[in-house]
A and B are shown apart, each in its own frame.
Chain A
Amino acid sequence: MTLQEKEQEIIDEFAIYDDWMDKYEYIIELGKELPLIDEGLKTDNRLIEGCQSRVWLHTDFDGENMQFSADSDAIITKGIIALLIRVFNNESPKNIASSSLRFIDEIGLHEHLSPTRSNGLASMIRTMKMEALKKV
């Protein structure tokens, strides 16, 4: 599945919810489900300090594709991270660096990426893309 196809899959999954609370119910489930990161990797050098919530991000590269693992102290942030990781994992640095992440807008989560929201997500995506750029 291409990165774009993965995005489309998420958009389709969210299309069935017309109520905001149902949408968030699903995001929270995603946040609860995934053990996203090895506890030992939650170190300060992997911490992205948001004003409201905090995010830990760890990056791996096998010479071809990238792997991310991450966590947050806020569960909604964590659920959105789960979506990002689903889209970015096993993708080439080039694909990641050039991705527009249109699914975020499409499923109505744009507000979570505004820098003023200060939940660490905007910085996290910036960091993910920068890590990818270094490998291009």
Chain B
Amino acid sequence: MNETIVKLDVEKIRSQFPILHQEVYGKPLIYFDNGATAQKPKSVIDAISKYYTKDNANIHRGVHHLSQIATEQYEDARKIIQKAINAPTSEQVLFTKGTTDGINLVAFSFGQMLKAGDEIIISEMEHHSNIVPWQMLCERQGCILKVIPINEKGELKMDVFESYLSDKTKLVAVTHISNTLGTINPVQEIIEKAHALGAKVLIDGAQSIQHTKVDVQELDCDFFAFSGHKVFGPTGVGILYGKKDILDAMPPYQGGGDMIAKVTFAKTTYNELPYKFEAGTPNIAGGICLGTAFEYLNGLDMDAIHDHEQELLAYAESELKKIDGVRLIGTAENKTSVVSFVVEGTHPFDVGTLLDKQGIAVRTGHHCTQPLMDIFKIPGTIRASFAFYNSKEEIDVFIKALQRSVNMLL
């Protein structure tokens, strides 16, 4: 055992998140909906305010002072994020609106290079945003979608995945971590196996970016998409990382300002990376403050965070199992700090409503993974997803409130 394990100072961290210190319905807020969106540290909130108070101007276009400052900050943020995910160059770090936008960019643009009969592999545990863009692509181009099934624990059936791989496979698009089940997928192995047959791999990093240290070069993925709002940054901004040769070969996604080199009515030529994929005025404040969010994370000990979150997960699971009728949905060996469950004889919506009235924010429903609910034959789950600012004491309150809710409903 490592004796120098540093315990995370949860109280200190909590003090940096103003939103956590309030009451709802007269009860202290317990925020367990971090899978949907994470709260923002004060440094990010202050950076947003500072940007609009002092620095706001359009970027890449102005000769004036403010425009230069805003452009510099925006491009600095890109570099901070490049370092955080260990991308080889900052031009491979594209600003998007979020995970969904990044996946749609690839589905459209990379998709244009595919032809009828080409195959795309996804999995049963994908978020709708990593299903529907591929279905749309298949309709447009006549490609074929193959779906990796899961076992009863909520793990990918890797043997089936391997049987799907062939020289027809052009892209594998899978989630790093399931937002509904918490399953951490063996993406490294998926990438290696796909590459062996010449297929490219897109990783949906919407959930993993909050919980793990992501190194796109070590993963060797071809695309990695995530949202700023799930990594303690602002909403409406995200990142798509891509390998340079692939991004260079891909046609642009949207047309407009910033993405062009020269426009004439006879012929328009496109700008270089990353601007080729960044048409129009972007979410400037969002991009800059996503950089601030990563700077905040840089100051934290990711190993200590990992240990703390795993402790919360183990504790929540063991306490939940003590409640009669609770069935955990998603029991993978390798899991992040998400507990999805149903309680026999109750509807998730009722449980969620009663928890809300006791100050506890959880998510109920299908979590944008309807096919997954069909597989487990349930209408939805109650999901508590923990971030590093959550505590065991909060889980105690949650368990008591859950027991009270279930008693009322049965």
Quick check: is B409 within 8 A (CB to CB) of the other chain? yes
Interface size class on chain B is 10 to 19
Chain A contact residue count (CB 8 A cutoff): 15
A52 touches B380 (CB 8 A): yes
> Within 8 Å CB of B346, what residues of A?
75
A75 touches B365 (CB 8 A): no
B358 touches A24 (CB 8 A): no
CB-nearest residue of chain A relative to B404?
A21
Which residue from B350, B358, B380 sits with its C-beta under 8 Å from A21? Answer: B358
Distance A21 CA – B359 CA, assembled complex (angstroms): 11
> Within 8 Å CB of B357, what residues of A?
20-21, 24
Quick check: is B88 within 8 A (CB to CB) of the other chain? no
> Within 8 Å CB of B26, what residues of A?
20
Quick check: is A51 within 8 A (CB to CB) of the other chain? yes
Within 8 A of A (CB), among B328-370: 346-350, 353-354, 357-358, 364-366
CB-nearest residue of chain B relative to A32?
B409
Distance A77 CA – B404 CA, assembled complex (angstroms): 19
Within 8 A of B (CB), among A66-82: 73-77
> Within 8 Å CB of A21, what residues of B?
354, 357-358, 404, 408
Given contacts A20-B357, A52-B364, A53-B349, contact A75 B379 (CB under 8 A): no
- A121 CB to closest chain B CB (Å) equals 11
Quick check: is B52 within 8 A (CB to CB) of the other chain? no
- A82 CB to closest chain B CB (Å) equals 14
Distance A76 CA – B348 CA, assembled complex (angstroms): 11
Interface centre among A51, A52, A54, A77 (most CB of B within 10 A): A52
B358 touches A52 (CB 8 A): no
A119 touches B349 (CB 8 A): yes
Distance A21 CA – B404 CA, assembled complex (angstroms): 10
Interface centre among B346, B380, B404, B408 (most CB of A within 10 A): B408
> Within 8 Å CB of B408, what residues of A?
21, 24-25, 28
> Within 8 Å CB of B265, what residues of A?
none
Instruction: Write 22 A-B pairs (CB below 8 A) sorted by A numbering.
Output: A20-B25, A21-B354, A21-B404, A24-B353, A24-B408, A28-B350, A28-B409, A52-B349, A52-B364, A52-B380, A53-B347, A54-B379, A73-B379, A74-B347, A74-B350, A75-B346, A75-B347, A76-B353, A76-B354, A77-B349, A77-B350, A119-B349
Give residues in B with beta carbon < 8 Å to A: 25-26, 346-350, 353-354, 357-358, 364-366, 379-380, 404, 408-409
Known: A51-B366, A77-B350. 17 other contacts (CB 8 A): A21-B354, A21-B358, A21-B408, A24-B353, A24-B408, A52-B348, A52-B349, A52-B365, A53-B349, A53-B379, A54-B379, A74-B347, A74-B350, A75-B347, A75-B350, A76-B354, A77-B349
Give residues in A with beta carbon < 8 Å to B: 20-21, 24-25, 28, 51-54, 73-77, 119
